[in-house]
Amino acid sequence: MDSGSKDTQQPKELPIVLVHRLPSINFPPNSFRHRLRSHFHILDPHESPEPYDSFLSRHAHSIRALITFGPAPISAEFLKPLPFLELVVATSAGVDHIDLPACRSRGIVVTNASFAFAEDVADCAVGLLIDVLRIISAADRFVRGRLWPVNKTFPLGFKLGGRRVGIVGMGSIGSEVAKRLSAFGCSIAYTSRNKKESVSFPFYANVSDLATDSDVLVLCCSLTEETYRIIDKDVMLALGKEGVIINVGRGSLIEEKALVQSLVQGEIGGAGLDVYEKEGDAPKELFGLDNVVLSPHSAVTTPESFEALFQLIVSNLEAFFSNKPLVSVVSN
C-alpha cells in the first residue's frame, strides 16, 4: 500500500478560550495553566507582545468563551469588541465585577465558582465564629506574649452550641454553613433574595428582623446593588451588644465605618472578617481588639478548593462546547 494513502488522524482542534485578567494578576500556577491548555486553546492577551486591543480584534471572531481570573471587570464596554462571546466563566463565587445586565442583554451566560468553594468557605466561616466566641487568637497572643505567668487569668469565652445564627444568603456557601452550625446545636434562620422552598429553616424577608432574632449573622451573599452595605448601623443595633458578625462574602456588604465604631464602642460583641471594603486594607482600629478575628481573604485558599475550581472550570467549558447543560450558572 502506498504510504501516501495511509489514514492519518489529525490532532483534534482544541476549543478557543480567552483569559481575562488584570495585568497585575498572574495567570494560574504553571500546573493549573498546563492542565487548562491540555483541554483548551488558551488566549491570554497579556502574554502577547501585540497591543491588547489589536490582539482582541484579531481573535474576536473565534472567541465564544472566556475565563475571568480575579477581579478583572467585565463591563458593557469590554464586551463590545467580542461580538461572538457566549459564555463568561468566573473563577470566584462573587460576580460583582461582572456587568450581569450587559451580559443578559447580549445573551451571554455567566457561571461562577461557588460550588467549588462552598465547603472550604463554610469551614472558614465556622472557624472565624469559634475563634471569636472562644477568643482563640487572643489566647494564642496571650501565651506567646508570656502574659500567662504575669496575669494568671484569661477572659471567659462563650459557647457556640445553642446560638441563634442568621445566615445572609442561603446559596451553596450559606447552605454549607447551616449544615455545619446545625451540627453544633445552633438554631438557624436565613434571609435571601427569595424564600427557598427546599430549605426548612425559618425565612426572614429582611435582614433587620433577622438580626433582631439572632445572636450571630454570617454573611455569605453576593454583592449586588441590593446587598451593598446591607449590614448598616441599624442592623448592628438590632443584633445587639453580644451579637457577632462573620463576613466571608464581600467587604462592601457591611458599612465598614459603622462596624468599626460599633466594635470600638462595644455596641456589638465581636466580628470575624475575611473580606474588607478595600482589599488588603483592614481597618487599623480593629487590630487591638481581642473580640475581632481578621483573615486576609483566604477562605477559599486551600489546595482542595483550587482542584475543585479547576474541575468546575473544565466542566462548564466542556459542557458549553458540547451543547450540554452548564454546571454553575449564575441566576438572573
Spatial separation of the C-alpha atoms in residues 47 and 118, rounded to whole Å: 32
- Selection from 216, 95, 108, 203 nearest residue 158 by Cα: 216
- Selection from 170, 172, 177 nearest residue 194 by Cα: 170
Residue 297 annotated to the active site: yes
Extract the C-alpha cell encoding 304: 482542595
Residue 285 annotated to the active site: no
CB 330 within 8 A of CB 100: yes
CB 58 within 8 A of CB 16: no
DSSP state for residue 285 in the 8-state scheme: G
**Catalytic pick among 297, 304, 307, 318:** 297
Spatial separation of the C-alpha atoms in residues 236 and 208, rounded to whole Å: 9
Give the residues across from 165 on adjacent strands.
Answer: 188, 216
**Catalytic pick among 47, 50, 242, 279:** 279
- H or E stretch covering 238: helix 233-239
**Catalytic pick among 250, 255, 304, 307:** 250
Give the residues across from 90 on adjacent strands.
Answer: 68
Name every residue whose Cβ is closer than 8 Å to that of residue 76 and which is 6 or more positions away in sequence. 99, 102
Collapsed DSSP state (helix, strand, coil) of residue 217: strand
CB 220 within 8 A of CB 193: no
Spatial separation of the C-alpha atoms in residues 212 and 173, rounded to whole Å: 23
Task: Write out the catalytic residue numbers.
Answer: 250, 279, 297
